[in-house]
Amino acid sequence: MGPPHISLTRCQSSHCIIRNRDGREKGCARLLVRTRILSPGELEKERVRSMATYRPDSNTLLADDSILEYVLETTVYPREHERLRELRLITQQHAKSFMGSSPDQMQFFSVLLKMIGASNTIEVGVFTGYSLLTTALALPAGGKVVAIDASREYYELGRPVIEKAGVAHKVNFREGDGVAELDKILSEDGGARAGTFDFAYADADKLQYAGYHERLLRLVRVGGAIAYDNTLWGGSVAMPRDKPGSSEYDRRVRDSFLEFNAAVAADDRVEACIVPIADGVTLCRRVK
């Protein structure tokens, strides 16, 4: 069966401002103005509200929808595993589908994992498990992936599909805060797990990436890779902070990513690049 027809819906949130080639905006339709600092709870509500119309297929910085459609129809969907497709469609029906990973990015990761010969990986931020299933399918028969998420509820939506794919035995799901769980892993077996992971993927609390980085550098072996998602944050890192339409949460995340990307670029423990796929991926190779 050929690839399904793709109907792309552009994000209408301030997170995903997209411009035509002539510079005109074709994204965000809302103007959010804040005159006070929001509490953590209000920030979470703002994050969800800000991204409520987001869909995985619109998670792109490409200037034209037709380019993404071409990529998906040419190289992604024709080779997408049937269980990945099933889980992607399930995820797209979820109210928080904006939290899902994009299929073109996951195809990139699948190829990358096989290129570096990864067999032991770690993932911070799971949601329904689309990226987790991608990783599990890419690993060899004896491969393992430690999956960390603050909510088991979302993971349980995807777990039956992971089981149907025959890779559930590769997954060690841990419910909890990302930083706290990474600290636990570092302390387990007398610290013996440090330097044993081939690949790590962080797609959780955007304000905690610096904390993830320090811990993942200790867990991933020299020569291994670490990928951080959403690091271009809808292109806002290259836009004015007070750009109309940006929410308080958007501005905080933008500032955090500006600091994080600069810190990684100056970190002599890694070789790093920012890949402008999906919402931006900062990819690191540990060198020492």
Residue pair 129/155 in contact (Cβ under 8 Å)? The answer is yes
14-286 homologous superfamily: Vaccinia Virus protein VP39 (3.40.50.150)
The secondary structure of the chain in percent helix, strand, coil, rounded to multiples of 5, reads 45, 15, 35
Which pTM does this prediction carry? 0.80
Q: Mind listing the pLDDT tens digit of every residue in the chain (288 residues)?
A: 433 333 334 344 434 433 333 444 433 322 222 334 445 555 555 444 444 333 333 467 887 788 999 999 999 999 999 999 999 999 999 989 989 999 999 999 999 999 999 999 999 999 999 999 999 999 999 999 999 999 999 999 999 999 999 999 999 999 999 999 999 999 999 999 999 999 999 999 999 999 999 999 999 999 999 999 999 999 999 999 988 888 999 999 999 999 999 999 999 999 999 999 999 999 999 999
Q: What is the pLDDT of residue 278?
A: 94
Do the beta carbons of residue 123 and residue 135 sit within 8 Å?
yes
Residues with Cβ within 8 Å of residue 126, at least 6 apart in sequence: 132, 147, 148, 149, 154, 155, 173
Q: Find the DSSP H helices in the chain.
A: 40-50, 65-71, 82-92, 103-115, 130-138, 152-164, 178-187, 209-219, 248-265
Q: What is the pLDDT of residue 56?
A: 34
Task: Find, among 14, 33, 27, the residue nearest to 233 by Cα.
Answer: 14
C-alpha span between 67 and 75 (Å, rounded): 12
Q: What is the DSSP string of 129-187?
A: SHHHHHHHHHS-TT-EEEEEES-HHHHHHHHHHHHHTT-GGGEEEEES-HHHHHHHHHH
Q: Which two tokens stand for residue 114?
A: 């096989």
Backbone angles phi, psi at 235, to 5 degrees: 85, 0
Q: What pLDDT is stored for residue 62 in this prediction?
A: 80
pLDDT at 10: 39
